[in-house]
Chains A and B, each alone.
Chain A
Amino acid sequence: MIRVTVPGRLEDVGSLRTAVLGLADTCAAHPDRPSPELLYAWALAVYEAGTNVVLHGLTDIGPAPIELAIELLRGHVAFWLLDHGHVNREWGAARTPEALDEHGRGLAIIRAVMEAAAYGRADDGRNVLLMLGRLGGATPA
């Protein structure tokens, strides 16, 4: 399992993306290794999730650690994003943005890229967003 913790500021969220792109090495010998395009898509989705935590979950709390855990499963890669921020109440209510909307694409990107995503509470009280990417899956388009 790969674990990365970032301080919870916008300028640090890029490290989450770097961790996902590092899967290129981890999965190099895997028969269903993700294509570069799929890795970019996963990295974007995880990045959007991290940005969402900073912008909406930590607004009046300030920087607090955001942890990303990446686990290679049979047929899938699991991305766990954990934070101490406010509960993201938009998750269940997120709508599909209109073409010319200037905002609101972050959650839609996560849903479009990942095979599944679920949001809840970890045993230690942190919010947890679990995203599953399918190995051998096509790049979402």
Chain B
Amino acid sequence: MENQQDSSQMAIVRDDRDGCVVLTLTGELNALSSHALRAAVGEALEAGGTRFVVDLAGVPFIDSSGLGALVAGLKQAKLAGGTMVLAGLREQARVIFEITMAYRLFDIVGSADAATELLVV
């Protein structure tokens, strides 16, 4: 497990588990911090990762920049032959997914463990 970029508002911890790249985010995913997520996904892709779990249990709020970073990560993962599953989406963070109907793009499950199980099938 390695600690990756910290922004002023969000920390990302990467854990490679069962062939999946699990990115655990803590803090708001917004215009200030979304670049860190893009960078973390980019680095993992360069290292050969294609199956991503983004654990959002520690993310109280996501804005359109944060959603854009998630969409970008999903697109890159799919281009690499993999995918991205979101886990632990909290109540206030879920709002943007419902308003934009972005929930149609992602598999969203309750926990990172459930997400890795989904990807390891």
How far, in whole Å, are A100 and B68 apart by their CA atoms in the complex? 9
Known: A11-B32, A14-B28, A40-B92. A105 touches B64 (CB 8 A): yes
Kindly count the residue-residue contacts between A and B in the assembled complex, taking CB atoms under 8 Å apart.
Answer: 68
Complex: chain A residue closest to B92, CB-CB: A40
How far, in whole Å, are A108 and B96 apart by their CA atoms in the complex? 11
CB <8 Å contact, B95 and A102? no
How far, in whole Å, are A37 and B54 apart by their CA atoms in the complex? 23
Within 8 A of A (CB), among B93-112: 95-96, 98-102, 104-105
CB <8 Å contact, A109 and B100? yes
Known: A47-B63, A105-B64. A40 touches B95 (CB 8 A): yes
Write out the residue numbers on chain A whose beta carbons fall within 8 Å of the beta carbon of B99.
Answer: 41, 44, 109, 112-113, 140-141
User: Counting CB contacts under 8 A, is A61 at the interface?
Assistant: no
CB <8 Å contact, B64 and A48? yes
How far, in whole Å, are A26 and B65 apart by their CA atoms in the complex? 30
Binding site for B on A (CB under 8 A): 10-11, 14, 17, 36-37, 40-41, 44, 47-48, 51, 54-55, 97, 99-103, 105-106, 108-109, 112-113, 139-141
